[in-house]
Copies of this chain bind each other. A is one copy, B any other.
């Protein structure tokens, strides 16, 4: 069933809200409320709107139906396994949704006097405490709004630290298998980006890295576990080499899900790492956000983190430190000037995600969080090995994978591609895996089942994947036109980019 656009069914004269009393309804059976006080004349300074805006409305019944019907054209974790590698589509606990909506969290203004938001500050500080604890780091910047924002924050910390010691370095090294966000971030922070190659077994080439290090290198950005699904065995050696050369180590924490509770990045010499709360800590993806990207920092970088931040002093009180008191607070409590690099956003970060992530951590606890990593890795290896002989796993010989299994398109019949297989998977009732990433593998397919899938769900998925893989190898031409049973057939993305239609225009007016 097709659902028209709001603009095709709404009316300028329709509204799904009522405005009648200023929040008063006095009953005792029979009393009529007072009519509202008369409006004084407008004080809009002559800027009153005169022209129509063009915003159609719907009544509540129509609204609920419109969006309910729209929603049913989406795939979601609640409907089935979502094997998108590097995206960690795990279950979103419903308890966390309930908690985020408690009035003391949802209905508090960011600029309320701190005495009226002590609980909110405690949430931030408690989450900060556990993030530091789980990563073995020294400090954390909580305000970054998403993973990429966190990356930027980490790189800016590095830059600020280097500047503070008068060391103007210009280059950030990024391995081939890095997330695409990494080079973009480094460039945004004003750095030149240079690639470091991968070894044939899918890890950073330590020797090549060492060879490139020097006084112009501000740091490296590394993803660990990397995008080939492998743990960087040489991480400590890499860190040591970078530190020795006077640089810093940034670790992309998008894949922290694989190692939480098993190894602490701080123990491997990492200086900064962002944590995607919507991945490891399961805040809902929501069709593309909001995210939240706190950045844990080493002792060397901690003084340079952005404002505002929270800190618990010896008396147990959690403080909110902003521009005004950053200097004096640092002097009093940390015994030195705090060299923050500034502010990355208005207000204090993604409170709505903090409450959910903290609930997630407390729910899983010391045993559960470790189990998260173990089950995530177990599930990925189970998928990897169950497809032995069906799909090519280029790094299969390198040993067990971490939380994602990487396959290539080797052996597909001529003219059939990873894209075709992915779209055929839709017809089997699944969201496709990540495609063509990492770039180091031809026609890459990156499958991340996550720990919240049951063995039965994996078995069913493996059957489906095996079936489409065999069809791809056998040259089944129907794959080329898949999906056949989705709400839409393949969409013309070229047309969309060539002649962008980015807003609805009334065809009657065209």
Contacts and interface: CB of A to CB of B under 8 A. Distances in A.
A69 B79 contact: yes
B94 A80 contact: no
A93 to B, nearest CB: 6
Q: What is the size category of the interface that chain A forms with chain B?
A: 35 or more
B9 A126 contact: no
A41 B453 CA distance: 38
A234 B79 CA distance: 55
Interface string A219-260: 000000000000000000000000000000000000000000
A65 interface: yes
Interface in A345-395: 362-363
Interface in A3-35: 9, 18, 25, 27-29
Interface string A433-470: 00000000000000000001110110000000000000
Which of A9, A65, A126, A362: most chain B CB closer than 10 A? Answer: A65
A1 interface: yes
A313 to B, nearest CB: 13
Contacts of A90: 61
A129 B29 contact: yes
A60 B91 contact: yes
Interface in A25-63: 25, 27-29, 59-62
Contact of A454 (B25, B59, B79): B59
Contacts of A500: none
A62 B454 contact: yes
Given A1-B429, A61-B452, 13 more contacts: A9-B456, A25-B362, A27-B126, A29-B126, A29-B129, A60-B91, A60-B94, A61-B77, A61-B453, A64-B91, A64-B94, A65-B79, A69-B80
17 contacts: A9-B456, A18-B363, A27-B126, A27-B362, A29-B129, A60-B91, A60-B94, A61-B77, A61-B91, A61-B452, A61-B453, A61-B454, A64-B94, A65-B77, A65-B79, A65-B80, A69-B79
Contacts of A60: 91, 93-94
Nearest to A130: B29
A310 to B, nearest CB: 13
Interface string A61-76: 1101100110010000
Q: Can you tell how many copies of this chain the complex includes?
A: 2
A397 interface: no
Nearest to A95: B60
A114 B316 CA distance: 42
A78 interface: yes
A47 B18 CA distance: 59
A326 to B, nearest CB: 23
A29 B363 CA distance: 15
Contacts of A61: 77, 90-91, 452-454
Contacts of A91: 60-61, 64
Contacts of A28: 316
A79 B66 CA distance: 8
Interface string A83-99: 00000001101100000
Which of A29, A316, A429: most chain B CB closer than 10 A? Answer: A29
A62 B454 CA distance: 8
A68 B59 contact: no
A363 B20 CA distance: 10
A78 B93 contact: no
Given A9-B456, A72-B72, A78 B94 contact: no
Contacts of A68: 78-79
B78 A65 contact: yes
A65 B126 CA distance: 31
For the complex of A and B, 7 pairs with smallest distance between CB atoms: A61-B91, A61-B452, A68-B78, A1-B429, A29-B129, A64-B78, A62-B454
Nearest to A68: B78
Contacts of A94: 60, 64
A487 B436 CA distance: 36
A362 B61 CA distance: 18
A1 B363 CA distance: 32
Contacts of A72: 72, 79
Contacts of A18: 363
A80 B2 CA distance: 12
Contacts of A126: 27, 29
Interface string A113-145: 000000000000010010000000000000000
Which of A9, A69, A452: most chain B CB closer than 10 A? Answer: A452
A192 B464 CA distance: 63
A27 B363 CA distance: 13
A126 B28 CA distance: 8
A363 B51 CA distance: 32
A54 to B, nearest CB: 19
